[in-house]
Amino acid sequence: MGGRRMIYHSALQEELSNLKELDSYQSNGNTVFQYDINNGYNDIFDKADCIYIEPAWRDGYYKFAKRAGVFNAEFNDYLDNIREVIVKFNKPSFVVMGKHMIKRLAPDYTIQIKLHGYGCYVGVYNSNINGEFKTNYDFMEYISTKFNKVLDFCCGYGNTLKYFKSFIACDINKKCVYCVAKEYMRYE
């Protein structure tokens, strides 16, 4: 590992092999830790300027929970818990979502984009975004110029973190925590 290569934690692919587990790590103002968003708001979230997440979709949610050995909620409860965290956070928040998630997550408005070639939406909360974006990467590039510290509580292997100056990242999977620490924080 090392060197910020493009890796993406997907339910459509096998989990990376040879990953160790890690509970948490901090370095240079960045934090990564194991956390299940179904447990509610964590006060460390207050230190971020915005939320950007690409949460699990219905078909991948249960696979991610199984990989992590953690299961706290059904998919709709997971979406409700994400929404509750965004409401409590009460700062600009951006959630990549499929059409099946829009009603439950209830964003202020949506922007159409593509995620890995597939059509989807960015749900926007507490922010006015002007512009057109083709992909999630275009969108992240844009918002990374507007905010200093991002909160990603569905960080996976940290693919989104490279766009931001600093971050608070967490995931239910301790292997993802290890991967982020190794790839983005020089953990040895």
* Residue range 27-58, pLDDT digits in tens: 999 999 999 999 999 999 999 999 999 998 88
Contact 61, 75 (CB under 8 A): yes
* Residue range 139-161, pLDDT digits in tens: 999 999 999 999 999 998 898 89
**79 Cα distance to chain centroid:** 13
User: What pTM was estimated for this model as a whole?
Assistant: 0.88
